[in-house]
């Protein structure tokens, strides 16, 4: 299957992916995810618990799966907002699901030439993407629970291709966090500990996923200035300040209108203007009412 690996490597590079790695589909995942769920760290994101059997066994998603191909795709390192109200880097441009899906489809077609059957995901299915990315040698799992790379840090999307092809797996990378705990120490709500994130305290959860309106006082205070998501743990990571030659797809850059629009102006958008501004953005999934709720937590609102 050496020819298949060479072909997918070449095609992935042409499509803009920054790295490719392969992990065995039957790599033992241990019980860390199960223990995280049992501790209630997933908050009210019930689908994570419901899909646990699928996450732990890729064969339930693709019978006969032999290999997991993991890919990275860069997104911006810096917040392009010129006004108050930060937006997580991954959500500054177009919806990455829509951007990456046709690219993965092209790679699927490439692998079909070699007789493979595939299923492709990019944060769009019950696959332990960070686990397999680490097993595929693309980086290591940092103390904040994200994949960290020695060249490029953690600001990247992960995509995966489950395939029936028996590809040669890559060697996992050594953990390079050492004694550094900057991400844990910088987290505004102390959501990070023991290399896992407790969603019940995570500002990304509260600004994106949570439908609750009665957040604890500590959380409400920390939410001020966070319009969509939180990148604090990534901002302080030394590996995200290392020079990199990786290029960012222009489709993932923030539009000038969103960059310069004040929180008040965003909160006052009509439904028609909201649709025009966020139709192709990950922010659209959260909805106008949710974004307004986040903005109302700003000082003076």
Task: Report pLDDT for 300.
Answer: 55
Host H or E run for residue 55: helix 52-56
For the chain, give every domain's residue range.
Answer: 1-301
pLDDT tens-digit map of 177-200: 999 999 999 999 999 998 899 999
CA separation for the pair 280, 278 (Å, rounded): 6
CA separation for the pair 167, 4 (Å, rounded): 8
- Tell me how far the alpha carbon of residue 230 is from its chain's centroid: 12
232 touches 187 (CB < 8 A): yes
Which CA distances in Å does 118 have to 1, 2, 43, 72, 109?
Answer: 15, 17, 32, 18, 9
234 touches 154 (CB < 8 A): yes
Q: Is the dihedral of CA 140, 144, 150, 154 positive or negative?
A: positive
Give 214's pLDDT tier (boundaries 50, 70, 90): confident
**Mean of per-residue pLDDT scores for the chain:** 95
Which CA distances in Å does 21 have to 52, 127, 161, 255, 291?
Answer: 24, 16, 10, 32, 37
CB-based burial label for 9 (10 Å; 0-12, 13-18, 19+): middle
pLDDT tens-digit map of 66-115: 999 999 999 999 989 999 999 999 999 999 999 999 999 999 999 999 99
Task: Report pLDDT for 235.
Answer: 97
Q: For the residues 49-63, what does the mean pLDDT come to?
A: 97
Interstrand relation of 156-163 and 140-141 (parallel, antiparallel or unpaired): unpaired
Q: For the residues 138-152, what does the mean pLDDT come to?
A: 96
CA separation for the pair 266, 259 (Å, rounded): 11
Tokens of 210: 């949570």
117 touches 62 (CB < 8 A): yes
Nearest Cα to Cα of residue 203 among 218, 181, 185: 218
Q: For the residues 279-284, what does the mean pLDDT come to?
A: 96
Q: Is the dihedral of CA 224, 248, 252, 74 positive or negative?
A: negative
Task: Report pLDDT for 301.
Answer: 52
Give the residues across from 86 on adjacent strands: 226
CB atoms within 10 A of CB 47: 9
pLDDT surpassing 90 at residue 297: no
Task: Report pLDDT for 75.
Answer: 97
Task: Report pLDDT for 299.
Answer: 65
What pTM did the predictor assign?
Answer: 0.95
Is 123 assigned a catalytic role?
yes
Q: For the residues 156-164, what does the mean pLDDT come to?
A: 98
Host H or E run for residue 199: none
Task: Report pLDDT for 23.
Answer: 98
Residue among 57, 79, 108, 123 flagged as catalytic: 123
Proportion of the chain above pLDDT 90, given as a percent: 87
Q: For the residues 248-253, what does the mean pLDDT come to?
A: 97
Give 16's pLDDT tier (boundaries 50, 70, 90): very high
Q: For the residues 132-149, what does the mean pLDDT come to?
A: 97
């Amino acid at each position: 299957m050496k020819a298949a690996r060479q072909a997918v490597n070449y095609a992935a590079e042409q499509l803009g992916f920054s790295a490719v790695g392969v992990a065995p589909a039957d790599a033992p995942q241990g019980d860390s995810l199960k223990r995280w769920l049992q501790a209630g760290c997933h908050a009210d994101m019930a689908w994570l618990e419901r899909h646990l059997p699928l996450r732990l066994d890729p064969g339930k998603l693709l019978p006969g799966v032999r290999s997991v191909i993991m890919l990275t795709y860069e997104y911006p390192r810096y917040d392009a907002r010129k006004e108050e109200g930060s937006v997580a880097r991954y959500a500054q441009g177009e919806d990455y699901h829509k951007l990456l899906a046709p690219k993965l489809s092209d790679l699927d077609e490439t692998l079909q030439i070699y007789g493979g059957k595939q299923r492709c995901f990019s944060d769009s299915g019950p696959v332990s993407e960070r686990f397999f990315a680490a097993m595929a040698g693309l980086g290591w799992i940092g103390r904040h629970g994200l994949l960290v790379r020695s060249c490029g840090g953690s600001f990247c999307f992960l995509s995966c291709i489950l395939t029936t092809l028996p590809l040669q797996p890559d060697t996992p990378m050594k953990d390079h966090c050492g004694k550094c705990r900057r991400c844990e120490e910088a987290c505004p709500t102390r959501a990070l500990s023991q290399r896992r994130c407790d969603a019940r305290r995570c500002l990304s959860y509260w600004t994106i996923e949570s439908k609750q309106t009665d957040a604890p006082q500590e959380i409400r205070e920390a939410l001020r200035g966070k319009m969509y998501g939180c990148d604090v743990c990534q901002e302080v990571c030394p590996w995200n300040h290392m020079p990199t030659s990786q290029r960012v797809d222009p489709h993932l850059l923030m539009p000038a209108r969103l960059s310069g629009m004040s929180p008040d102006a965003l909160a006052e958008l009509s439904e028609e203007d909201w649709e025009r501004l966020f139709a192709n953005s990950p922010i659209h999934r959260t909805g106008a009412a949710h974004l307004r709720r986040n903005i109302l937590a700003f000082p003076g609102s």
